[in-house]
A and B are shown apart, each in its own frame.
Chain A
Amino acid sequence: MPFETPQNGGFLVAAYVVAAVIYLVYAVSLWIRASRAMRQAGQGGSGAAGQ
């Protein structure tokens, strides 16, 4: 029996966008937290060295 290929490209786009957003948001969150922690650690280190 012949079948029709379903038209569901919208679901593909939705899944790819959701995945990209999750990975990017997590990468940016890690990046910001790491930069902040390095800055704070650097300030603490130089403060301790000055004392």
Chain B
Amino acid sequence: MTPELLAASRIVRRGQVLTILGLLAATAVYVIALCYTPMEMRQGLAQKIFYVHAPAAWGALVAFAVVGIVSILYLWLHDERLDLFAASSAEVGIAFSLVMLTTGPIWGKTVWGTWWTWDARLTLTLFLFFLFIGYLALRAAVQDRGERARFSAVVGIMGLVLVPFIHLSVYLFRTLHPQPVLLKPSAPSMPPEMLRALLSGMAAFTILYIGFVVLRYGLARLENLREGAGDAL
């Protein structure tokens, strides 16, 4: 077994352990949200969708921000591992976005009376999702490894530019989407039990994000070794 293969396998194993920890932590968040948080009287039980929706949004935005930052580092340092890490974070970000974009409309239907509305926050988030679908499609389409890394790094940086706009869109535009309750200059605007559940959710889904990314990165390293062996033949 070559040292590269050994290193990639070790990363995969670490990713598997972290993913299991993340899934267990996510299960704990489900229990906390369902059993230990009060019911919001005006919104009913559907308000508890918040404890899954907000951490998924957090995970997605962190993932896409990481893609952009690591892409900048790739263009600077030209280290292939940075490109593989960015691509891994993009794929994981899409999984988190899918949760955000499905749980959001389910909650929206109960609060706004509609599944979807084309307001700034929702539209920009959907645009970001499609941008990273395009990022992965681009990677699948370009065969040359150097070109693929360079082109996708540019798209990744464009995604990073969108992230702060999405967070600030509720301040910049008239929108139905509620304003942040946690990531804002003033103190969190929610009861302590709800805040605890939200913070646990964000911590748990951050662990899950790290687990997914490490596992996907290990897989990318293995695929890269195979691709390299194919090129050498």
Contacts and interface: CB of A to CB of B under 8 A. Distances in A.
B69 to A, nearest CB: 22
A18 B5 contact: no
B219 A45 contact: no
- Name the prevailing secondary structure of the B interface residues: helix
B46 A12 contact: yes
Contacts of B226: 37, 40-41, 44
Interface string A37-51: 110111011000000
A15 B52 contact: yes
Interface in A1-51: 3, 5-9, 11-12, 14-16, 18-20, 22-24, 26-27, 30-31, 33-34, 37-38, 40-42, 44-45
Interface of B: 1-2, 5, 8-9, 12, 15-16, 19, 23, 26, 30, 34, 39, 41-46, 48-49, 52-53, 56, 92, 95, 98-99, 102-103, 106-107, 109-110, 208, 212, 215-216, 218-219, 222-223, 225-226, 229
7 contacts: A9-B45, A12-B48, A14-B106, A19-B103, A26-B95, A34-B215, A34-B219
